[in-house]
Amino acid sequence: MSETETKSAQGSPFWRFSLQFYRQPAVADACIQLQDEAGVDVNLLFFLLWFAMQRRSFSASEVEWLESKVGPWRDATVIPIRNVRRALKVPPALVAAATAELFRTKIKAIELEAERLQQEAMYQLAPAMPAGETASSVAEAARANVSAYAAMLAKPFSPPAVDALLAALRNMQRKPGDK
């Protein structure tokens, strides 16, 4: 078992949910689309979906509270690391392509670790989260949380991307595992 897999197995229920959710069909593409088009913090989105699995829904102002807590970490660590990784998809010619790709792989692992640290800190914030509302279903909570996040960002989310995420969440409800 790799070091990352060991840390994953030992992570919080939220981290384990995120890993399982991200492996669902179409989730990665939907997340990248929402990240690139609307500035979505995928970790924050996953946190809201994890709460939705508990039928908890939040308002835009409650999502804004959460954003105020996680934004500084994301902006100082996750985004700069991601930008370096993305820039190295086509590295400058100074370093051999294979060497640059090995370096990019290391940066990708560091980016994942920065995201894991963000998620673990978010999990620790869970007890301090605003109470939110109890929804009648996971689907209702998920749709409400995604809508609240879009409202907080004041940017529309791609309906096909949102539909893909909601379908993946429904799929996870049918499977045993961390919820």
pLDDT in tens, 96-142: 989 999 999 999 999 999 999 999 999 999 888 877 888 889 999 99
Which pLDDT does position 4 carry in this prediction? 44
Task: Determine, yes or no, domain membership for 178.
Answer: no
Range of the domain at 8: 3-173
Say if residues 81 and 107 touch (Cβ distance below 8 Å).
Answer: yes
Domain-embedded: residue 33 = yes
Beta bridge partners of 56: 134
The Cα angle at residue 166 between residues 139 and 21, in degrees rounded to 5: 110
Give the Cα separation of 11 and 8 in Å (integer). Answer: 5
Mean pLDDT of the chain: 89
- Residue 179 located in a structural domain: no
Over the stretch 12-59, which tens digit does the pLDDT of each residue have? 999 999 999 999 999 999 999 999 999 999 999 999 999 999 999 999
Q: In total, how many domains does the chain have?
A: 1
* Backbone torsion region of residue 148, taken as left when φ is above 0, otherwise alpha when ψ lies between -120 and 50, otherwise beta: alpha
Alpha carbons 65 and 152: distance in angstroms, whole number: 10
| Positive or negative: CA dihedral 136, 141, 143, 148 | positive
The answer to the question of residue 158 being in a domain is yes
For residue 90, the model assigns a pLDDT of 87
Residue 153 lies in a domain: yes
Statement: residue 179 has pLDDT above 90: no
